[in-house]
Amino acid sequence: MKAIRRFSVRTVLPTRIEGLGVLASNLRWSWHPPTRDLFASIDPKKWADTKEDPVRLLSRLSADELDALAADDEFVGRVVAANEDLHSYLTNERWYQSWSREQEEAGLAAPTAIAYFSPEFGITAVLPQYSGGLGILAGDHLKTASDLGVPIVGVGLFYQTGYFKQSLSRDGWQLESYPVLDPDGLPLSLVREADGKPAVVSIDLPAGRVLHAHVWRAQVGRVPLLLLDSDVPGNDESGRKVTESLYGGGGDTRLEQELLLGVGGVRALRIWSRLTGAPAPEVYHTNEGHAGFLGVERIAELVRDHGLTFDEALEAVRSATVFTTHTPVPAGIDRFDAHKIELFFGGDNAMPGVPVERLLALGAEDYEGGQPGIFNMAVMGLRLAQRANGVSQLHGHVSREMFEGLWPGFDEEEVPITSITNGVHAPTWVDRAVYDAARDHLGTADVAGENAWERVGDVPADAIWQVKRGMRASLVEEVRRRVRSSWLKRGATDAELGWVDDVLDPEVLTIGFARRVPTYKRLTLMLSDPERLKRLLLHPERPVQLVIAGKSHPADETGKRLIQEMVRFADDPEVRHRIVFLPNYDIAMAQRLYPGCDVWLNNPLRPFEACGTSGMKAALNGGLNLSILDGWWDEWFDGHNGWAIPTADGVEDPDRRDDLEAAALYDLIENNVAATFYDRDEAGLPHGWISMITHTLTTLGPKVLASRMVQDYTERLYSPAAGAGRALNGPDFKGARELAAYKARVREAWPRVRVDHVEPSGVSDSPQIGDTLHVSAYVDLGGLTPEDVAVQFVHGRVSDTDELREPIAASLQLVEGYDNGTYHFAGEQLLTRTGSFGYSIRVLPKHPALASPAELGLARNA
């Protein structure tokens, strides 16, 4: 019989151990081993049975058990000490506090609050609100911001069923289930009004419908994370299902999710500030295009509350907005029919001050190669943000190529999308055995905080090897448990599963591969030559074993077929002790996989991997990367920290390309990876391998940390955005009004701007190094003034088609003006290199509030 209603009864803790509730409600426990040890000590079996969830653990303790804990003075003392430690963590000065003082003293901006919007957040397996890398990155961003003291508030959605739980059918097909999550049984608290009623965010929908949402708060260390939940009274059945599942639903659900995330998220922030006194964010960080409507809501606020025009509000909003794109795959970007946007934002449903035609223009693909009638969320995100970035250097390049149509007249390298390479939160992902080894041999577990990376070489080789062997053995034990569980769910009986006890070998080279399963990540590349793979797995002297995991989106039939192909290969009795596919890849599994693998494999189709942080997590656990030169690996591979799989760039036949790259992968594993791993001395130590581990930790350790990433965001994007926001959002929004007026004036005049004449002098017909080229340019500014523009002398090497390569721009100076509106600009250039040399003259808009010369997408070339 099914229950007609369900609810959770909260545990009431005895007064002496009330602090357990405080510790359980702050997700810092998920990356703080002493707090986890405290909960584990209550009842190790129940701790394991509840999947290491403090809230569930406490709910399973009887009143007698709780009273016994409260009567245990030693345990009570540990609870008090843990709470004091948490209080210190939450209140003591950290990196941001000292940095922000230095900023303000130097006259620069340090934002008082930063809003970080993302459709998913991967904090802990206990709170399954993530599907893959985007969410895990967002979770690491919040946790690291907490550790550094950066005043971030996260904004997302609460999905009643999370993403999905994955299992396998008997024939290896992915099966999805959607267990309902009860927020009352999770480390969440409902945001309530002063009278105790739930705070409500409401959004108008077409046909007179209204979408309501409650707001749950997860406390991530020092960082509050606000999650909007539409499964509330007052919504119709369709409305209650808007936040049912991550990236799920049909019809209008995806658009309604993004409307709730963006517009509703801003409204939730306003409620949060009103109820708690928290400062309103000065900077808004849009993590991918899903939350792009947040800018529309902020424009509507400024028009309504401050009397700005749409254009003035747009400038005020843009100045303080940061947009991060995470996908190099156009198919990964949300695009809606423009008529759908008109339905949600036009007519009776129009947002005051936001004409629907202006909104449609923000997301329009009105550039060469774009599709008319489509509203592109990433394009809107870029147009609503003055600062944008990709998540690795290569991805920055790919992003500039993808979106350069938004900035016509500029070369790819001038497109204003920078890059900040992702990082990972070491306390979440690094095994405790690694920290213990650092403490034993380096005198500290805080290798990053004490900048002890260069001393990693002081750790004895045998100690490093013993740590890796121990973590590998733990992984083997975990894999056997998971394989047995998976097969039982697939319909096998215990009597059939005796072979599971021999799955994997704790002394065999272990390669890991785990990620989402879109086609471009090429899960089955390693199966290109099944017989050769078998020979590698079963090599009599240098065997290899593979641990594989990954989920395919429920609607991706191709991805499911790839999983089935891999599972069927792994089911083969000849090799099933050497290769396994583990279903339901999540944070909890990943935390065991990274430490236990000797090598982390990544073989995407280059350049479609935006960053790929799983390899970073493996590296921090002493793993070596074996990867296509894509994402972060393209940036930081140095020839000694792992291996680069050669790519068959330029081969247009995809099957042929896969075959070539698979053959290169097999060769590397057999002749380099396995050969190095099994090359041992008399004591059984692979010194070459251990040397590579030491080199990896020494060189990659400081780079792959999320602390480096969040500091980069803070210094390079958040601080400038806060400064720009303050300049434009000051008294009466004078800066925003002036910038909007300037842009309107420039756009109106730009068709009349032209370079009339260029006069070079100072060099002969055979110029040589040391000569000085003098240039005069006569420019008709079409009614603009010389203060409105920058006139540049752009020079560089020249291709066979007269294209400038690696151009360098130098400003020309105003010489004089003429009555007809023409101006004379001049400058000079010393010739310092041989070879082809070319130049041109370019006119660009110039204003102190522009973050980039390309911001308006206007350029006039000679």
pLDDT grade for 3, boundaries at 50, 70 and 90: low
Tens-place pLDDT, residues 440-460: 999 998 888 888 899 999 999
**Cα→Cα distances 409→795, 853, 862, Å:** 16, 11, 12
Span 121-127, average pLDDT: 96
Cα–Cα dist 54/331, whole Å: 39
User: Which pLDDT does position 6 carry in this prediction?
Assistant: 55
**pLDDT beyond 80 at 330:** no
Q: Which residue has the higher pLDDT, 348 or 814?
A: 814
DSSP class of residue 233 equals T
Cα 212 to Cα 350: distance, rounded to the nearest angstrom: 18
Average pLDDT rounded to a whole number, residues 117-129: 96
Residue type, 572: D
Query: Rg of the Cα trace of the chain?
Result: 29
Q: How many CB atoms lie within 10 A of CB 616?
A: 30
Alpha helices in 586-718 (DSSP H): 587-596, 614-620, 631-636, 654-668, 674-677, 687-700, 706-713
CA 425 from chain centre, in angstroms, equals 12
d(CA 166, CA 18): 37
Burial (CB count <10 Å: 0-12, 13-18, 19+), residue 40: middle
> What does the block give as tokens for 496?
């059939």
- The amino acid that residue 748 corresponds to is E
Q: Is the dihedral angle over the CA atoms 323, 389, 700, 510 positive or is it negative? A: positive
Report CA torsion sign: 790, 796, 798, 804.
negative
pLDDT greater than 70 at residue 265 = yes
pLDDT at 398 over 60: yes
Note whether 243 and 260 are within 8 A (CB): yes
Separation in Å, CA 193 to CA 15, 200, 220, 274, 747: 26, 9, 22, 10, 47
User: Both ends of the chain: CA-CA distance in Å?
Assistant: 79
3-state secondary structure of 732: helix
Query: In whole angstroms, what is the distance from residue 389 CA to residue 408 CA?
Result: 19
Q: Give the pLDDT of residue 797.
A: 85
- Residue-wise pLDDT tens digits, 297-323: 999 999 999 999 999 999 999 999 999
SS3 642: strand
Per-residue confidence at 835, pLDDT binned at 50, 70, 90?
confident
pLDDT of residue 1: 61
d(C-alpha 383, C-alpha 292), whole Å: 10
Q: What pTM did the predictor assign?
A: 0.95
Q: Please check whether residue 139 is in contact with residue 128, taking contact to mean a CB–CB distance below 8 angstroms.
A: no
- pLDDT over 80 at 250, yes or no: no
Token digits of residue 770 = 């040391």
Reported as a single tens digit per residue, the pLDDT across 162-197 is 999 999 999 999 999 999 999 999 999 999 999 999
220-234, 527-541, 668-682, 821-835 — which is least confidently predicted? 821-835
User: Residue 409: what pLDDT?
Assistant: 83
Instruction: Please enumerate in sequence order all residues whose Cβ is within 8 A of that of 476, keeping only pairs 6 or more positions apart, or say none.
Output: 503, 504, 505, 506, 596
